[in-house]
Amino acid sequence: MIKEDCIFCKIANGQIPCNFVYETDEIVAFDDLNPQAPIHTLIIPKMHFETLEDINDIKLLGKLMLAVKEVAKIKNAKNGYRTIINTKKEAGQEVFHMHIHLLAGRPMLWPPG
Ligand code: 5GP
Ligand code: ZN
C-alpha cells in the first residue's frame, strides 16, 4: 500500500526522481538528503508502514536487515557502520514511513544523542 502524501512512498514509486543505491521488488535504498556522515543511506520498504511497530512480517524485516548488509557492501563501509531506526516522535522520527539509517565513514559516538 502507498500513502498519497508520503514523501518516501513518492520516492519508492518513482514519483520523485531519486538515484537508488539498491532496489528489490520490496525494498529500496537511497542517500539521505541531509547526510550526518560521509555515508548516510536510508533503507525502506516500498510498502507504507508508519513505524517499525507496524511491520509484523518477519520475512520483510529479515529482508530489510539483509538489505542493510548489501548497502554497506555497495557503499564500501568496510570499517563499520551504524544502523538506526527512529521509532515515533520521542526517538526523533520525522518521516513516518519506516526507514533504517545506515551511517558510516567516520567514528561514531556512544551514547548516541
Ligand atoms: P527520521 O528522523 O525520520 O529517522 O529520518 C528522516 C530522514 O529522512 C532524515 O535524515 C532526513 O534528512 C531524510 N529526508 C527527509 N526528506 C527527504 C527527502 O525528500 N529525500 C531524502 N533523500 N531524504 C530525506
Ligand atoms: Zn510511505
pTM: 0.98
Told to judge if 99 belongs to the known catalytic residues of this protein, a careful annotator would answer: yes
Beta carbons of 43 and 68 less than 8 angstroms apart:
yes
Distance from C-alpha of 5 to C-alpha of 19, rounded to nearest angstrom: 20
pLDDT in tens, 26-71: 999 999 999 999 999 999 999 999 999 999 999 999 999 999 999 9
Ligand 1 neighbour 2 (Cβ under 6 A): no
**Residue with CA at minimum distance from ligand 1 atom 17:** 33
Query: Would you state the pLDDT for residue 1?
Result: 81
Mean pLDDT on 103-110? 97
